[in-house]
């Protein structure tokens, strides 16, 4: 999935009353469920997006049941044909979803029984909706992790290419939002590439724990039928089976972990969004965004508002909220399955949709950013940004760093008194504060001299930025030829 999708039924939904005997569990009850309760407890309005995963898992389950002799070959053929037709109906938007059937599982099963007759009723042998929904959600999330990893790659590619264009563009680096030291804009952009790399690694690492098969755990205790869980795991490309049936149906830590990774990803994108908003403002004037990613004002005709970036910043709060909601959901549940777990899906679905949409927005917006190099340079000249370079210069002349720090602080104060920048201080003024200073200090105090001097792994020197751009292009190029995300290539990400 690559586009944001609304949380609404994909096809027609009927809310007609259903007599108690029409329900999958009706035998125990003497009267129908109240219509309000039916609507309150139904999840089909949102969990129908699990239908492809539900059908995929049901096909694997049916093949296994036939292999161990629980289903006949004739029943298997009817089930396969029926499920394939149901998937076609769902994709075409003609499937008739019924609120009275509660959820995606019973809707699919009811339609399968219409199509396959008695064979459709036999499919649920040796499973429960408890292990069924856990399997479906894991299948769904596994696919979304793969798609999101590629979405992250796309944003990284956009940032790397912009960094390549500005590997030597000087801008102010900030701490406490105060001018600190000069950096290159390319180096600044690559900081986000590193953040996104760790986000990608977290998602792929979470995928390993998502990719374990609950099916076969049944309601909570397993089943009396001679099932072959390993066969189903191989069929569905799960890496392992869940080893405890109670844990398999009751825990949603894999969904929590996914949302935690998603919340961190949105937090990083929100930081980038915040900087775009700042850089676009007249007080900075560092960049311009493409018109298609900005909006106007209903009253002020001059305005160009960075609404996409602002919304990304705002949406991060909702995704962080989903993480808190899921943690709260699971914290008080006794073992095993509880109906509370129905509430896991909407936060997960909204997290997925928001991540996809936000990644797409940044992947398409970043290449259109126009940079005002002169504005960045002017800003970098403010705040005595090369003061640390003067301290380092004195250290190389034998002055202890703390003494050098004190001498430079006095030099900064003197520059403020004279109304000039640190590099504009006359040599005699500098020598009065530190006699070790010679005329060769002035190239050190230039913006270009400052950034070029930081020529080491992780430094902001243009040569290092160009080398990092080359490395990232190679890493991302290798990924573009790989269909399934895997561990980061050697040398990528944190610690490289």
- The catalytic residues are 176, 297
Pairing between β-strand 240-241 and β-strand 212-213 as defined by DSSP bridges: parallel
In 266-401, beta strands by DSSP E: 287-288, 370-371
- Evaluate whether 188 touches 173 at the Cβ level (below 8 Å): yes
Tally of CA atoms within 13 A in the half-sphere of 307 that contains its CB? 10
Q: Is the Cβ–Cβ distance between 271 and 277 less than 8 Å?
A: no
Contacts of range 281-290, beta carbons closer than 8 Å, 24 or more positions apart: 284/375, 284/379, 285/372, 285/375, 286/171, 286/371, 286/372, 286/375, 286/376, 286/379, 287/369, 287/370, 287/371, 287/372, 288/369, 288/370, 288/372, 289/365, 289/368, 289/369, 289/370, 290/365, 290/368, 290/369
Tell me how far apart the alpha carbons of residues 492 and 484 are, in angstroms, rounded to a whole number.
17
Torsion sign, CA atoms 385, 387, 390, 396: negative
Q: How far apart are CA 252 and CA 243, in angstroms?
A: 15
Separation between Cα atoms, residue 424 and residue 445, nearest integer Å: 9
Token code pair at residue 256? 């929590």
φ/ψ (deg, to 5) at 305: -95, 135
Closest Cα to residue 48, out of 4, 98, 82? 98
Q: Do 256 and 323 touch, CB atoms closer than 8 A? A: yes
Specify the DSSP element, H or E, that contains 133.
Answer: helix 129-165
Tokens linked to 271:
């930081």
């Amino acid at each position: 999935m690559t586009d944001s999708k609304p949380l609404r039924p994909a096809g027609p939904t009927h809310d007609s009353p259903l007599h108690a005997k029409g329900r999958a569990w009706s035998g125990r009850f003497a009267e129908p469920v109240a219509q309000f309760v039916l609507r309150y407890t139904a999840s089909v309005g949102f969990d129908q997006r699990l239908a492809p995963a539900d059908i995929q898992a049901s096909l694997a389950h049916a093949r296994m049941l036939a292999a161990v002799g629980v289903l006949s070959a004739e029943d298997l053929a009817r089930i396969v044909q029926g499920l394939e037709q149901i998937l076609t109906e769902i994709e075409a938007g003609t499937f008739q979803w019924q609120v009275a059937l509660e959820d995606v599982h019973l809707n699919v099963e009811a339609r399968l029984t219409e199509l396959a007759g008695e064979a459709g009723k036999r499919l649920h042998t040796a499973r429960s909706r408890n292990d069924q929904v856990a399997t479906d959600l894991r299948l769904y999330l596994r696919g979304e992790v793969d798609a999101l990893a590629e979405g992250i790659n796309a944003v990284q590619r956009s940032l790397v290419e912009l960094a390549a264009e500005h590997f030597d563009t000087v801008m102010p680096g900030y701490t406490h939002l105060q001018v600190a030291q000069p950096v290159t804009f390319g180096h600044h952009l690559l900081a986000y590439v590193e953040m996104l790399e760790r986000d990608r690694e977290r998602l792929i690492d979470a995928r390993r724990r998502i990719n374990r098969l609950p099916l076969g755990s049944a309601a909570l205790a397993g089943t009396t039928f001679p099932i072959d869980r390993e066969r189903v795991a191989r069929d569905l490309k799960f890496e392992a089976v869940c080893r405890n049936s109670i844990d398999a149906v009751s825990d949603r830590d894999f969904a929590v972990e996914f949302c935690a990774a998603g919340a961190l990803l949105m937090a990083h994108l929100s930081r980038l969004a915040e900087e775009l908003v700042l850089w676009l403002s007249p007080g900075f004037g560092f960049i311009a965004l493409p018109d298609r990613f900005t909006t106007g004002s209903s009253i002020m005709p001059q305005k160009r508002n960075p609404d996409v970036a602002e919304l990304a910043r705002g949406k991060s709060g909702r995704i962080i909220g989903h993480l808190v909601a899921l943690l709260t959901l699971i914290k008080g549940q006794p073992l095993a399955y509880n109906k509370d777990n129905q509430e896991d899906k909407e936060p997960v679905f909204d997290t997925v949709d928001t991540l996809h949409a936000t990644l797409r927005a940044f992947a398409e917006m970043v290449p259109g950013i126009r940079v005002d190099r002169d504005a960045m340079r002017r800003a970098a000249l403010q705040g005595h940004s090369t003061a640390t370079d003067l301290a380092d210069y004195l250290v190389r002349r034998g002055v202890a760093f703390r003494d050098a720090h004190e001498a430079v602080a006095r030099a900064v104060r003197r520059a403020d008194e004279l109304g000039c920048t640190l590099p504009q201080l006359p040599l005699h003024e500098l020598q009065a504060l530190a006699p070790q200073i010679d005329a060769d200090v002035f190239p050190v105090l230039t913006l270009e001299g400052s950034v070029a001097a930081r020529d080491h792994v992780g430094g902001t020197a243009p040569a290092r930025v160009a080398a990092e751009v080359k490395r990232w292009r190679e890493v991302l190029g290798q990924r573009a030829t790989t269909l399934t995300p895997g561990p980061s290539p050697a040398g990528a990400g944190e610690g490289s």
